Chain A
Amino acid sequence: MADGILVKQLNAWFGALHVLRDIDLTIAPGAVTAIIGPSGCGKSTFIRCLNRMHEVVPEARAQGQVLLNGEDLYGPRVDPVQVRRRVGMVFQKPNPFPTMSVFDNVAAGLRLDGVRNHALLDEAVEHALHQAALWGEVKDVLGKSGASLSGGQQQRLCIARALAVRPEVLLMDEPCSALDPIATAKIEELIVQLKKALTIVIVTHNMQQAARVSEATAFFLLGELVEFDKTTRIFTNPSDRRTEDYITGRFG
């Protein structure tokens, strides 16, 4: 069973700009948690805090507790590099390594971990591509550049690349915003499959998407967590007025 995440009093800044305020949130294991909210509300910053990617931007910092399986990712002796091996991430725009083949893209994380055994790599790459529902489409072009695939395939390649190192959590930052509806449908199907083995946190601008794939939904506004509840409840009977205004399209 995958591990859940417990977020306690998380704050984040860009320089002097306070972009996340006192976030408390429990992300259930083996489920999909969606983060919604208007642009600039801090939702991307929030998930980037979950694998300590927020702090790679100059002048950005975060404070608080993020407990993965009881262990604080912001603990004093925690290496952010190790955190990122346990918490994978998929970005808004597909970003495969263009100079690497499809195979090498998926194997990149394992090679960073020092895996050199060919049989092991072959097996792990095939498994990750199966998990990302891409194997059938690329099994004959594993040697071609990762950039030669279509946009939707590139994004699934990026998912396979993240899955290959067997993370416990997969963060997805608007993974479909650069894709057409068919490619989007494939990724959504994939998300539903993947949650059996993984904890997934997805940021999305698309409320139908949040409704379709997630069990729980968090609504962020101006750096604060306004409401967090079961997805069905958020979309049918939200308790906060601002949530209702947002999901009914009155702003944002």
Chain B
Amino acid sequence: MRRLAHSTRVTGGWGDHLFRLLIRAAALILLVIVLGLVIVMIRAAFPSIRAFGWSFLFTSRWDPVAEKFGALPLIYGTIVSSVLALLIAVPLGIGAAVYLSEVAPPWISPPISFLIELLAAVPSVVYGLWGIFILAPWLRTQVQPALGATLGFLPLFQGPPYGVGMLAAGLILAIMVVPFIIAVSREVLLAVPNAQREAALALGATRWETTRLAVLRYARSGLMGAVLLGLGRSLGETMAVTMVIGNRPEISASLFAPGYTMASMIANEFAEATSDLYLSALIEVGLLLFVVTVIVNALARLLVWSVGGAVKAVRE
């Protein structure tokens, strides 16, 4: 046996000290990167901020020739396409997760989980291509005429069926975020202690009542986290959305109409931004996207805290 005195390990004070320094540096670097990013973006966006002030946020004209820039349609397009995506993806994703964790026979879960991971690994440009060649034509020839004929009295479903537009963007985003929502929700539901299910069952709850009473309520803060992850992804998604949203900076009540998102605008127009003010306006759009993401995440955190407090007391 090796004697302690001859051990080659670095023990005692300074090994720990070094380790602490390293991990502290790692944490600080993250902070520095975020702060640096914000500072650089603000500086680069400053000409645009000075030229347009608050009107950048509240006007809709995006005219590179006249050098007049207003980002309202982009903010609108980003938020509406993401909300639309969540409206579709959340019920679908949480429903599938409930099926996998509460109802499905044990053998069915692994293959489905594998397929879900596969779905999450598809590059977004592939979703975009699929959107252009399959989803958009299908919407144009089948879905939008049918919606217009039946629900056309709603402003949401009026106007010519282009195929590409807000509806296509929302759908493609929904398909892209659903795997994330399923994967996270499933983990969250599986983490609900069995004692909770048994408590409800022993009270005479049916399977659905047990899911509602014991499982979904217990897991609600975690499910919120799953939804937020989906929202975060859809707000920032660029490629697939750019390919199907139509890229027109306009605000329209109809989901059939083309729109534009902040991320698509930056991706599309960066190469053409010849004047300094144009470039600066694009960077300000990037800054806005950052701010919107931060606000959404902060609101989400608040929401999670307000409903999650009670659960922690029992989760040992």
Residues of A within 8 A of B (CB): 51, 53, 56, 58, 81-82, 84-85, 88-89, 91, 93, 95-100, 108-109, 112-113, 145, 147-148, 158, 161-162, 165
Contacts and interface: CB of A to CB of B under 8 A. Distances in A.
A165 B209 CA distance: 16
B213 A81 contact: no
A148 B313 CA distance: 7
Contact of A93 (B195, B197, B201): B195
Contacts of B310: 98-99, 145, 147
Given A108-B203, A162-B203, A97 B218 contact: yes
Contacts of B193: 95
Given A81-B206, A99-B220, A91 B314 contact: no
Given A95-B196, A97-B213, A147 B313 contact: yes
B79 to A, nearest CB: 30
A99 B215 CA distance: 10
B221 to A, nearest CB: 9
Given A53-B198, A95-B196, A145-B310, A100 B203 contact: no
A81 B214 contact: no
Contacts of A112: 203-205, 209, 213
Contacts of B203: 84-85, 88, 108-109, 112, 161-162, 165
Interface string B150-185: 000000000000000000000000000000000000
Interface residues of B, number: 26
B198 A95 contact: yes
A165 B195 CA distance: 19
The 6 closest A-B pairs by CB, nearest first: A85-B204, A98-B314, A89-B202, A147-B313, A95-B195, A147-B314
Given A84-B204, A148-B313, 12 more contacts: A56-B197, A56-B198, A58-B106, A89-B202, A91-B202, A95-B196, A99-B311, A109-B204, A112-B203, A112-B204, A113-B204, A162-B203
A98 B313 contact: yes
Contacts of B204: 81-82, 84-85, 109, 112-113, 165
B201 A84 contact: yes
**Interface SS, B side:** helix
23 contacts: A53-B198, A53-B201, A53-B202, A58-B106, A81-B205, A81-B206, A84-B202, A84-B203, A89-B202, A93-B195, A95-B195, A95-B196, A97-B214, A97-B217, A98-B310, A98-B314, A99-B217, A99-B307, A100-B217, A108-B200, A109-B203, A145-B310, A147-B314
Interface of B: 106, 193, 195-206, 209, 213-214, 217-218, 220, 307, 310-311, 313-315
Contacts of B307: 99
A28 B233 CA distance: 62
A158 B205 contact: no
Nearest to A167: B204
A99 B212 CA distance: 12
A98 B218 contact: yes
A113 B213 CA distance: 13
A167 B207 CA distance: 20
Nearest to B316: A93
A93 B310 CA distance: 18
A97 B214 CA distance: 7
Nearest to B219: A99
A51 B198 CA distance: 12
A99 B202 CA distance: 18
Contact of B313 (A95, A145, A165): A145
B199 A91 contact: yes
A93 B199 CA distance: 11
A97 B205 CA distance: 14
A82 B200 CA distance: 13
Contact of B196 (A58, A85, A97, A148): A97
B170 to A, nearest CB: 31
Contacts of B202: 51, 53, 84, 88-89, 91, 162
B312 to A, nearest CB: 8
A35 B214 CA distance: 29
A53 B197 CA distance: 11
A96 B205 CA distance: 15
B311 A98 contact: yes
